Structure 1
């Protein structure tokens, strides 16, 4: 079974085509013949060995990838929401050889749903991981309609989904953007756009002097953006940051693996994509053999939407 993975952790050049064993199919599981796998920043950390200590598999190859879409090839006992031949998308929690950059992938049936109607596997592969992370962040903060949410990294995949989901939830959104991305972020639905970068918390406070009710920190600025939030407000982070313990801020590290089998949430995202609430953005497709180049491009920065590996 072909995959793009590493036999030694390192830079993008460490990624190459490797051979992995087929995964057995058990009850409650789904086998996908993979057509597309989105490339995310977390994949570059996996490739470099950042997660090696927590990985129970200690022998190579290691295969990155958390987003996958393709055709259902087989369903296990108890799976009744999918049938062989359906085009489906899923989220992968990658451990050892179990990432998404492979031709054939077995997942829990609760991690897989049909792709949105009218949307192919390539675009659909950009939704599961970032969409579920965005939904989980909003659920953890539990803001009420009419409250104000700030979003950093709003032009990115996670941030863009947060903006659109927050608007659907009835929130007022203050988002950051570079000059080049301002039109995009406004199109996603942000009510107020401030310039991104150092000092963004102060710029948010210029528009919301009392501080925002919640903040989704997609740009991973951690302590630097906490001043934008009112005392007792909520903050969702995406790299495990737990706050500074001050001003009664409620900080929620948003770990998507906790909701990786929340099929109802994933199916709700599918429906919202069908309804036009969510915009699925593909920056460029590359064949699996060019996974290393995809990682180089992502690490250079400036990518809007997702790079997608095709099979």
Structure 2
């Protein structure tokens, strides 16, 4: 025996097919009307003509819905009157179009919804038609779904208006702030920084740190390693020309290397253990440059 619902003896599948037909018809109609409006108003340059064309298409939709209502008298109570199917078609067209405009206005602000825009836009027509179905359950469901759709329309624009948070502004540029490209396996971390020195520690999980220090050239233009490199037999340090304006100072007793470079009015020194390959420090001094904004946020005090 066929399943029925309510005194009208209407099967649930009949209602579903009825609403699905309205939804499919209005999906096609909203696609045509939207493209007609945008093509005529924005590309054709005539807003008045675009509105007239859309109104004509709405009249065509109204006519198709009136025919559908007349063919489904048991699903549409209004057609029981002489001109009831026209009243039903007018109600579905007017209320559905108002809802469709609201859906389209909200969905167009979310570019990700463009692929489901027309099926969503046709939904208010089906929900309006569900209000006229016999029985309390379809009307209650229609009201609940309409409320959910209205809530979604209120939330979507809010998400669309939200912009990703702007990155924190970079600290004020530091006159001594220079860094070099980190050697393979090293990561730059902040060190002592003030008005007279800028320090960066290059740390590695598998090798001793390399410390880069930048100072201003002293007024007398002396080089920081000159006293160390004086020819004194008792010193444990040796100084070697490393090429490209660099000087390598090795303290055998302390087990350290210091690679010096004068760059304009700045003295730059890379300090590292004698067990570290000097090529890593050379690559830092060879690639010296000002900090990027991201590096400034990481290496400079806020």
Q: Which has the higher contact order (CA 8 A, sep 6+)?
A: 1
TM range (shorter): under 0.3
TM-score with structure 2 setting the length: 0.19
Q: Kindly name which structure, 1 or 2, has the bigger radius of gyration based on alpha carbons.
A: 2
Determine which structure has the larger helix proportion and give its number: 2
Determine which structure has the larger strand proportion and give its number: 1
